[in-house]
Structure 1
Amino acid sequence: MTEADTWTGEDARRILRVPTSTDDKYSRGVLGLRTGSTAYPGAAVLGVEAAWRTGVGMVRYLGPSRAQDLILARRPETVTADGRVQAWVIGSGTDAADRSSEEEAALRSILYDALPVVVDAGALDLATFGTAPRILTPHARELDRVRAALGLPALARDADELARADAARETAAASGATVLLKGAVTVIATPAGWTRRVASGTPWLATAGTGDVLGGVIGAIVAGASAGASPEQGVERLGALAATGAWLHGRAGTTAAGRLGVAGGPITALDVAEALAGVVASVADTELSGHDR
């Protein structure tokens, strides 16, 4: 990969859907999340917060009561009843080893539906199943588990950026899903081989919960795009949407850390989520600064 393959703020601006006077909450996109658990309810809170801050029209959360209570205390506008959605985020803050048979059936139903799905963390064991358009969001160790399920070799621990991109492309082709391989430089690959790198982040993003935020960001963008999508956009469109979500997430992390000094400083996942609204607003402007490009 080269610098020419880097996804930029200008690329993100072309993808990001800005509401108009004719929009309502449904046409802006409705995102459903089946995330979080009794053990890890915070993951659900972070994903929901990120989705709202990215600009989705509605968020529906379906999950454990403990997570629901925390979400409603933080974001009371969240809907906790089943209903219409235009995209899903599943798996963040869950553990496949603790999954109930009811939850397994619900996840498989989502994966065999037609709506796009962001598959994270505890749902990645199901990543090779289903007919839904999927975005898989593994880190390196999770990618190895997905690759093993596909009969592919593990990624070397010292793999350079080119090797990581090759592995993402190979996994995408074998799984039929868009793959977003998280890291200091995030790599996105689609089943047809379209590949981009995202380097808008900061090392300060390497902290617990930021991956949950990323899932919410991507889910919101996919839901917004799906609300007005035409069938011909297809699975390959997910690559650009995932890259845009990764760019916004990275920029939000950089913005949050930058508030603490020129070299940045310690941030939490919630800091990243809270910085998203300002980043989205700046990207929505028709003229980006040189810094944002």
Structure 2
Amino acid sequence: MSGEGLEAAIDPTTAEWTAERASSVLRVPTASDDKYSRGVLGVRTGSTRYPGAAVLGVEAAWRTGLGMVRYLGPERAQNLILARRPETVTADGRVQAWLIGSGTDAADRPASEDAALRRILDSDLPVVVDAGALDLAGVGSAPRIVTPHGREHDRLRESIGLAPVGGDADDAARQRAALETARTLGATVLLKGARTIVATPGGWVARVTSGTPWLATAGTGDVLGGIIGAVVAAASVEPVSDTESLGALAATGAWLHGRAATAAADRHGEGGGPITALDITEELPGIVASVLAHRMR
């Protein structure tokens, strides 16, 4: 992309993701759909130390809307998920997309799990790569969305030979860095923050500002992973074969996440109030319905 094109891509007046744009991305079930054609998300998240991350991601995926969630993870997390969401399937089988890494630590990853994640990343199915799987962001050929926060993004950049951005970078610098990371990895990058940035290797950029400062609380990133995973799985009934097409799906997931968090905070009155990660998931069905209403206008 030329210098002029890059400046246009990071112009906040042209990059803002909206409810209208999100409505054009979400898939609406039809009378001919079944649970498989609505999208199946495979999930390998959570750990013995952090089982709650798996629960939050699975809960978020279900409430965003899809046909099935298959959870393949530690027994403790599996038991907690089934207690919360007994409709979750815990047997291996067909999926249209994967969510990996939330609530895990690469330093503690067993060899068997490492091999399983690498197989997923070397498939042709889209993968949402979060948290403890970000060290594998450059592995394999699967189309992927990586979802780092600022510190994770700096570590990821250093691992692929790029300079860290630093916590005091302005939005323009963050967008340039996200684009550079996306091009270097060949992956869609969703850089979390008060203003979330989505960038693809081809230079497409979106900015998401639907959230609230009350989002800065434990577990909300795990919820985001589940939302994006569900959006991607539902869209991938017709296979998503390239990373560029994942940009709009990632931006839509981030927009839903931010809007649901804002709705949860606003229940406390003007200015909002404290929320938890599960509060966000409880708002999701209504937010999805309101976004889809844009198609009727």
Short-chain TM bin: over 0.9
Which residue does 2:25 correspond to in 1?
Answer: 15
**Aligned residue runs from structure 1 range 85-164, under 5 A:** 85-164=95-174
CA gap of 1:91–1:143, structure 2 versus 1, over 3 A, is same
Confirm or deny that 1:269 pairs with 2:277: yes
Q: Which runs of 5+ in 2 are unaligned?
A: 1-10
TM score, norm. by length of structure 2: 0.95
241, 248, 260: which one aligns with 1:252 = 260
**Aligned residue runs from structure 1 range 41-60, under 5 A:** 41-60=51-70
Contact 2:145/2:250 (8 A) holds in 1: yes
Confirm or deny that 1:278 pairs with 2:283: no
Confirm or deny that 1:30 pairs with 2:40: yes
User: Secondary structure, in 3 states, of the residue corresponding to 1:285?
Assistant: helix
Q: Which 10-residue stretch deviates more, 160-169 or 149-158?
A: 149-158
Which residue does 1:235 correspond to in 2?
Answer: 243
User: Secondary structure, in 3 states, of the residue corresponding to 1:222?
Assistant: helix
Which residue does 1:186 correspond to in 2?
Answer: 196
Q: Which runs of 4+ in 1 moved over 6 A?
A: none
Contact 1:10/1:288 (8 A) holds in 2: no
Q: Which runs of 5+ in 1 are unaligned?
A: none
Inter-partner Cα distance in structure 2 for 1:237 and 1:287: 21
Inter-partner Cα distance in structure 1 for 2:41 and 2:232: 8
Matched letter for residue 13 of structure 1:
S
Aligned residues: 287
CA apart distance, 1:230: 6.5
Which residue does 1:204 correspond to in 2?
Answer: 214
Matched letter for residue 256 of structure 2:
L
TM score, norm. by length of structure 1: 0.96
Inter-partner Cα distance in structure 1 for 2:104 and 2:239: 30
CA apart distance, 1:288: 8.0
CA apart distance, 1:284: 1.2
User: Secondary structure, in 3 states, of the residue corresponding to 1:59?
Assistant: strand
Which residue does 2:8 correspond to in 1?
Answer: none
Contact 1:27/1:228 (8 A) holds in 2: no
CA gap of 1:230–1:49, structure 2 versus 1, over 3 A, is closer
User: Secondary structure, in 3 states, of the residue corresponding to 1:46?
Assistant: helix
